[in-house]
Amino acid sequence: MKLALVLDPLDSLKAYKDTSVAIMAEAQARGHALYALLQEDLALKGGRVAGESRPLALTGDDHDWHRAGAAAETPLDAFDAVLMRKDPPFDSEYLYSTLLLELAEAQGANVFNRPAALRDFNEKLAIAKFPSFTAPTLVTRKPELIREFLAEQGDIILKPLDAMGGSGVFRVRRDDPNLNVIIETLTRLGTRTIMAQRYIPEIAAGDKRILLIDGEPVPYALARIPKEGETRGNLAAGGKGVAQPLSERDREIAAALGPALREKGLFFVGLDVIGHWLTEINVTSPTGMVEIAAQTDCRPAALFMDALERRCA
């Protein structure tokens, strides 16, 4: 197969832990041809969606990890699959990319995850589609509503709707002397909508990332355990990733969400679960494959490629 991946700049990827690199390594080992594109390489030209794609070969070296060839304009429907793996923020440029990819899809391209689903499933707000699995949550830009929610819950998490890796996440309590400035900063003086969630103490045991591939869960989750003195378990915030078998509750959540997400065109998804509660549905560029593979006998990248080959057959 010819596989195109829309990625962040190649030199910014940390090959030793990057899930996109793990997927590409597995694809290359199976004899598939790899091509890399940036968001800026996508274009609508002469009525067709194409990309300035670069043939890519992986070296197996974690530092000098790739060799990229010369860029050539290629219609996206000339590839067997196009994988959208660009990291957030989900800004206007990301939106435009999904619109271009949706046009490419209409022209015959196989795009994973489906562009319309990327737009419909904001990674924070999407949990509202599954209220039976979520802790008390508020979405607003009004400071007075946030203060009321804090008064009810006593201990809450505040976070933006368009970031990743724990960026901009605050934990606040009723007596927090910085409450007003935190709310002002996150809402940009009441002009930006944010999310508030009840603080879940089980975060101490890890913020679990459950990977769904074509609706089916990988049998191990990656519990991201916060470092001492930190609320966030995100690996980007210094959390430690510990692979562990899915719990009964993990499987219950995965079984409920998997088919629904697959039906929407979400091929690869990362569910974030703290304790018994679903906190996020990651659809843009889920991670965790490398850590799970390193600590268990499970190979998530191989499961991914198995499913992708079935879908593209």
Q: Report the catalytic residues.
A: 124, 159, 209, 224, 232, 272, 280, 282
Beta bridge partners, 134, equal: none
Instruction: Look up residue 171 and give its two tokens.
Output: 């934990």
Cβ–Cβ < 8 Å for 201, 264 = no
Rounded to whole angstroms, how far apart are CA atoms 98 and 84?
9
- C-alpha closest to that of 220 among 202, 208, 232: 208
Instruction: Look up residue 246 and give its two tokens.
Output: 């899915």
- C-alpha closest to that of 286 among 218, 210, 194, 206: 210
DSSP notation for 152-181: HHSEEEEEESS--TTTT-EEEETT-TTHHH
